[in-house]
Amino acid sequence: MAERRLYGAVAEFATPDALLEAARRMRENGYTKMDACTPFPVHGIDRALGIPHSRLGYIVFAGGLTGFVAGILLQWWTGAVDYPLLVGGKPLFAFEPSIPIIFELTVLLSAFAAVGGMLALNRLPRLHHPLFELEAFRRVTNDRFFLAVEAADPKFRPDETKALLESLGAESAALVEEEG
Amino acid sequence: MADVALNRPLQLDPPLVEGNPTYSQITDDVAGIVERKPPREWYAAIAVSGLLTLVLGASIAWLLYKGVGIWGNNQPVAWAWPITDFVFWIGIGHAGTLISAILYLFRQKWRTSINRAAEAMTIFAVMTAGLFPLFHTGRPWRAYWLFPIPNLDLSLWQNFRSPLMWDVFAVSTYATVSILFWYVGMIPDLGTLRDRTTGLRQKIYGFFALGWRGSAWHWNHYEKAYLILAGLSTPLVLSVHSIVSFDFAVSIVPGWHTTIFPPYFVAGAIFSGFAMVITLMVLARKAYRLEHLITLNHLENMNKILLATGSIVAYSYAVEFFTAAFSGNPYEQYVFMNRVVGPYAWAVWIMFFCNVFAPQLFWFRKVRRSIPAMFAIAIIVNVGMWFERFNIIVTSLHRDYLPSSWGMFTPTLFDFLTFFGSLGFFLTMFLLFLRYLPAIALSEVKAVMPAPANAKGGE
């Protein structure tokens, strides 16, 4: 009952340079929906695949701003509004002694936003991905560099795409299916 | 085409990885630590550290039953050993963040072999540090009073104008952000372990790897997140020990009330932390035969940092004495005279020997590149930095303004048991980390090493 459909074509490369070169050539050939899976970040791959700049910075800025405002409100409201308590003749609220906690909360919420935002943008955690069906893909976290062309790509023709990948120096290429 | 590696670093510096291994050899070396049975030294070490951890547990259990009176704390030396130990452990943590965040921002690629273990050390040091103020409060079951949690039995809010409150926020933020930074850095390597193991271990590593598949789209956001976390951790780590120093500097106790404290504490923290990193790395690289990944060049670089921060610490000591002399304040002057010739003078001279003289030997290249010498000096610095905190706390408190309230401090057996027990707890955590988690950042080392010449290339 679970219908299988094609996820795409995947090729395996032995070096980051071979992968980069293949990614560029595929793009020259008009492919747009591609992904590369590598054991470490390969620099230049984002341009070769047309990956835009990460927008994570905006999320972190929002998180940091929240922490900053929360730090001010927390110290002002508890100390000067909800329970005013005079200690050593100091003002009930002043910026100078509030800065350490404002700073710490800014950093704390920025860090939460950075990690949470990164995971959300990457749609992680996820339980499965069609690429994990491929036995060779186990080496993606070791020493192999994979280039995938998704079936959703308008130029995708299963056998043609696979043959093109093979001609670009891949160690091997395969078609991968996913649950429908 | 295969030979032109785009990520090949300039070969001006000594190689970061020795022996031109392939990617999979690096994976085998690092993942193998976790997959194989540990070496005999590991069992011996965890037997000792585990025993000490039990000692810690027993002494804390007795403390909870009897109260803080089992320690030597008294009036006027109320802070005594627990706060000495707290500052000692918090300081140790700072080297890990310096290596992982500050050296990352400065693009110091040699950090990649040691950052994971150094970050782990940070987290365990902060955990260990946290025990001391927790139990020093005397009523650890009321620990939630430290946080602004609305509750009925307190009925008022924390005093946010107190440096002790700042410290609570600084240390808990530091612990949280360090754990996030460490974990995010480890996700790709947990993926590696997931892909190499089977059965239950694969499920556990897979759970924590979050479905990581090394997609270029993911690396894009991931690297951004890593950079931002490094950028956040850098001012954070400087703020933490600055705020710890505020615990002292904002008071009016002679010997504490000085403006040099924040930079002096930060330099001292990095100094002591690097000494601990060197101590641990020298042992770990030997036990796990990782000499080609954690090379002598890495250790030499760390020794240079030890020399630099040790010199800053020495300068701070000099400034403290000069400020006391120049201030014309008799109480301030008395405290510093009392430090060098008073009843605790022996502790001050141990500190001077360990922190000022010992690291100066690193001016010699031969010493910087000798394993026994650096190991000995690192241990000496660890001892010296503990004594620095002891001196700051005990010699300032035991004789402040009124001679009628002067006193002496003598540690009890339980002070020793708690401290050495905490050492065991820290080492146990570190040994468990070596056993179960990737101790070297695989994905980072692979990214900075030259592309292997013998990897089967394209055409």
Instruction: State residue B449's pLDDT score.
Output: 84
Q: Is the pTM of this model over 0.90?
A: yes
| Yes or no, beta carbons of B211 and A16 under 8 Å apart | no
CATH topology assigned to domain B23-143+160-190+234-448: Formate dehydrogenase/DMSO reductase fold (1.20.1630)
DSSP reduced 3-state for A179 = strand
The tally of domains found in chain A comes to: 2
Considering only CB atoms, A143 lies closest to which of B24, B213, B216, namely B24
Instruction: State residue B453's pLDDT score.
Output: 59
Clarify whether residues A107 and A62 are in a common domain.
Answer: yes
Domain that holds residue A15: 4-53+128-179
Indicate the residue among A121, A146, A167 that finishes a domain.
Answer: A121
Residue among A143, A152, A149, A155 nearest A174 (CA): A149
Strand partners, A4: A179
Clarify whether residues A63 and A113 are in a common domain.
Answer: yes
Clarify whether residues A114 and A170 are in a common domain.
Answer: no
In chain B, where the domains are located? 23-143+160-190+234-448
Clarify whether residues A10 and A49 are in a common domain.
Answer: yes
Closest-CA residue of chain A to B160: A75
Show the low-confidence residues of chain B (pLDDT under 70): 1-14, 453-459
| Yes or no, beta carbons of A141 and B191 under 8 Å apart | yes
pLDDT, chain A, mean:
94
Q: Give the DSSP per-residue string, B360-388.
A: GGGGSHHHHT-HHHHHHHHHHHHHHHHHH
Residue A128 CA to residue A125 CA, distance in Å, equals 9
Residue that is written with structure tokens 């459909």 in the block? A5
Residue B386 CA to residue B87 CA, distance in Å, equals 9
Clarify whether residues A103 and A132 are in a common domain.
Answer: no
Instruction: State residue B457's pLDDT score.
Output: 40
- List CB contacts of B36: < 8 A, sequence separation 6 or more: none
Chain A contacts of B195, Cβ < 8 Å? 138-142
| Yes or no, beta carbons of B221 and A13 under 8 Å apart | no
Residue B78 CA to residue B82 CA, distance in Å, equals 9
Question: Domain holding A148: CATH number?
Answer: 3.30.70
Scan residues 14-33 of B and list those with Cβ closer than 8 Å to A. 22-24, 27
Residue B97 CA to residue B271 CA, distance in Å, equals 13
Q: What are phi and psi of B141, to 5 degrees?
A: -70, -10
Instruction: State residue A118's pLDDT score.
Output: 97
Strand partners, A6: A177
| Yes or no, beta carbons of B169 and A101 under 8 Å apart | yes
- CB of B356 less than 8 A from some CB of A: no
ω before A125 within 30° of 0 (cis)? yes
Clarify whether residues A173 and A88 are in a common domain.
Answer: no
Clarify whether residues A86 and A41 are in a common domain.
Answer: no
Residue among B151, B152, B192, B149 nearest B172 (CA): B149
Query: Could you give the ipTM of this predicted complex?
Result: 0.95
Residue B173 CA to residue B90 CA, distance in Å, equals 13
Q: What percent of chain A has pLDDT over 70?
A: 98
